Amino acid sequence: MYTLYFMPGACSLAVQVVLRELKQKFTLINKLHTENFTAINPLGNVPALVTQDKVLTEGAAIMLHLIQSHPSSFWSSDPKEQQQTIEDLMLANATMHPAYGRLFFATHNIESVSEREHFLKKAAEQISLVWQSVGMRLESRAHLGPFLGGQQPSVADIFLTVYASWGAHFFVDIQIPDNVQQMLDRVRERDSFKAAVSAEQSN
């Protein structure tokens, strides 16, 4: 049994989706409704996942813990495929996530309208380059299936689907290749993703 602390639309959504895919029982708690959340995670960030004996933080680390703890298609027994899973996860969490983070930073910290717009444009260009990289990975594995994980989504696919939704908050031009958009749409149509979004809205 897990307890997942979240904020609506944050990357904690991806963790919730994976918990559902793994058929794990969990309690969902909105960070905004939690007194003294820093006692759970001193940095104040979500996701934070509470297990029986510890608190796990950092999205990528939580994902690795879950997929290594509960057998599924997310984690192969083949070391080469395990390495690919980790690389895809790091592309999503360590490259794409910070790229989108620059949009939020600029919006809240750059007062000059012209400077902010310039920064946002450059940030969007960088995000588009990362999406191009995702597209090339998908293309190179097209014979395996429509996802980075082949016939089934990987944890990277799920993270990337959450990040893609963040672009709607900004007036920027982010270019997402067609094969990537198709992958994102497939993830959004999964019952686990729809249920996770609905659960966030009701908490």
Fold classified for 2-73+191-201: Glutaredoxin (3.40.30)
- Three-state SS annotation for 112-168: CHHHHHHHHHHHHHHHHHHHHHHHHHHHHCCCCCCECCECCCCHHHHHHHHHHHHHH
Read off the pLDDT of residues 37-78 as tens digits, 9 standing for 90 and up: 999 999 999 999 999 889 999 999 999 999 999 999 999 999
Q: Which residues pair with 150 in a beta bridge?
A: 147
Cα separation, 115 vs 113, in Å, equals 6
Whole-number average pLDDT of the chain: 96
Q: Which CATH architecture has domain 79-188?
A: Up-down Bundle (1.20)
CA 195 to chain centre: 16
Please, where in the chain does CATH 3.40.30.10 lie?
A: 2-73+191-201
User: What does the pLDDT read at residue 203?
Assistant: 83
Read off the pLDDT of residues 94-122 as tens digits, 9 standing for 90 and up: 999 999 999 999 999 999 999 999 999 99
Q: Give the mean pLDDT of 140-165.
A: 97
Cα separation, 53 vs 110, in Å, equals 42
Nearest Cα residue to 195 out of 3, 20, 58, 5: 20
* List of residues 6+ apart from 126 with CB closer than 8 A: 99, 102
pTM for the full predicted model: 0.96
Please, where in the chain does CATH 1.20.1050.10 lie?
A: 79-188
Q: Give the mean pLDDT of 125-131.
A: 98
